[in-house]
Amino acid sequence: MKLRIFSLSVIATGLLVACSPDPGPTNRPANEATPVAEQPRTPAAESDANTDAEPLIVYMNRVTPDEVGAGAGTISVRQSAEGLVFTPNLMGLTAGKHGFHIHQNPSCEPEMQDGKKVAAAAAGGHYDPTNAGKHTGPEGDGHKGDLPMIEVNSAGVQQQVTINGLTLDDLQNRSLVVHERRDDYATDPAGDSGARIACGVTK
Ligand SMILES: [Cu+2]
């Protein structure tokens, strides 16, 4: 009797031991396998999606006749069905509208013009691949680099601007320039928009 009870308890213990580790190992790998299998997939899927819609970030600098100065924020540019969307996030702009253009050269350095140094003059004129030779604004038939103005409210917030007919390829090795005043979209060469105050090279 004692032997039988003993052996039964051994069998019972053996069953318990046999049963309890079994669910453990089967559960644990299942639990571990799930996140391990899902984790690499999720970031990969996200980065694939981001690559498609990857915006171009243009780092802007304050520009003066003497130098390319401090960082002035960014303008991110992305392709959309409506065209190129520019999202400015710039610092230190006065409220109101500012002329905004793609300029020809990938430089924001000052240069001598008519015997005096001019801010961001090395950026050259407006991007004009068709040699239109006229400044008529974003709806016009002139420079392709004529962009809608950047409008800044009293809190310093800037609206997105969208332009049709341009792609990110048009921005390769150019510069983006913000001017001190509004652009009249008529006066050559830069719509009477005054000095270049912020500039960023696009790559
Ligand atoms: Cu300009």
Residues 133 and 166 in one domain: yes
Number of domains in the chain: 2
Residues 89 and 12 in one domain: no
CA of 54 to the centre of ligand 1 (A): 25
Residues 94 and 47 in one domain: no
CA of 11 to the centre of ligand 1 (A): 89
**How far, in Å, CA of 180 to CA of 96, rounded?**
10
Across the strands, what pairs with 48? none
Residues 87 and 64 in one domain: yes
Domain range enclosing 164: 56-201
Residues 105 and 154 in one domain: yes
Tell whether pTM > 0.85. no
Length of the chain: 203
Helix runs in 53-116, H state only = none
* Average pLDDT for 180-192: 93
Ligand 1 is an ion; its neighbours by CB within 5 Å are: 101, 177, 190
Burial of 200 (0-12, 13-18, 19+ CB in 10 A): buried
* The pLDDT value given to residue 52: 54
Residues 11 and 60 in one domain: no
Residues 20 and 78 in one domain: no
Residues 33 and 92 in one domain: no
Mean of the per-residue pLDDT values of the chain: 82
Residues 83 and 174 in one domain: yes
Contacts of 151 (CB under 8 A, 6+ apart): 96, 97, 98, 158, 159
Residues 165 and 131 in one domain: yes
pLDDT, tens digit, 9 for 90 and up, residues 63-79:
999 999 999 999 999 99
pLDDT band at 53 (very low <50, low <70, confident <90, very high): low
CA of 123 to the centre of ligand 1 (A): 9
How would you label 93-126 residue by residue, b for 16+ Cβ within 10 Å and e otherwise? beeebbbbbbbbbbbbbbeeeeeeebbbbbbbbb
CATH number at residue 97: 2.60.40.200
